[in-house]
Homo-oligomer: A and B are copies of this chain.
């Protein structure tokens, strides 16, 4: 995919799907400061563009180093699955998030993932600084994560190591969240909204279990009960 892709030359249907995704991703970024998951310009949300129910080779992500007040549909960046920004996209002047390569790697390597979120949310990042998984001691953890939240390897930004660490840790796990060592949580979902929800819940359980353990010994939930919680929640909860 080294040839340049020009947004205005795309099929009209695909352009419309891109526009709708940019709107969704811009709106979802507001959830990160709202739930206290980010400071300054940290954190990012992306979503793969879907056309007629089929995932395309494009995704939309936050621009790099722009403050949350200034984020809007117009400055969401469109990228190909190898993380290259599409040329002539609006706005042509903004670079995608410095975490774009990690998002792209996840889309290329995890089937069914349509959204990715990264934050440095405080309590989740604190567990990451100890490289300690969050044990499953809450029914809401059973619901959302199906067990402990695992820790990924230490990886430097700049190549595929972060993306590879995410994928290798989450593959075969029920958890949509991974704590990258000394760095912070990445979450995945069927779309960006699901990944944002996982990021919100990840911080909440990181905080609650931390506080629980500060006060004494916690009771873990046996895995067979966790499985029943997770199964019910993934299949029954919400509006169907």
Contacts and interface: CB of A to CB of B under 8 A. Distances in A.
Interface of A: 35, 39-42, 63-66, 93-95, 98, 120, 122-123, 125-127, 129-132, 137-140, 154, 156-158, 181-184, 197, 200-201, 204, 207-219, 221, 225, 228-229, 232, 236-240
Contact of A130 (B94, B131, B212): B212
A183 B229 CA distance: 11
A64 B237 contact: yes
B98 A125 contact: no
Contacts of A127: 212, 215
A153 to B, nearest CB: 12
A175 B226 CA distance: 29
A41 B201 CA distance: 10
Contacts of A95: 238-240
Nearest to A220: B182
Nearest to A94: B239
A219 B182 contact: yes
B201 A238 contact: no
Contacts of A183: 138-140
A182 B125 contact: no
B137 A129 contact: yes
B126 A232 contact: no
A130 to B, nearest CB: 5
What secondary structure prevails in chain A residues at the interface with B?
A: loop
Contacts of A184: 138-140
A201 B129 contact: no
Contact of A140 (B120, B154, B232): B120
Contact of A219 (B66, B130, B213): B130
A34 to B, nearest CB: 10
A218 B64 contact: no
Contact of A40 (B41, B181, B201, B209): B201
Nearest to A41: B238
Nearest to A240: B95
Given A39-B200, A139-B182, A158-B232, A208 B65 contact: no
13 contacts: A39-B200, A64-B238, A95-B240, A122-B204, A122-B211, A125-B208, A126-B209, A130-B215, A130-B217, A130-B219, A132-B215, A137-B182, A214-B214
Contact of A156 (B207, B215, B225): B225
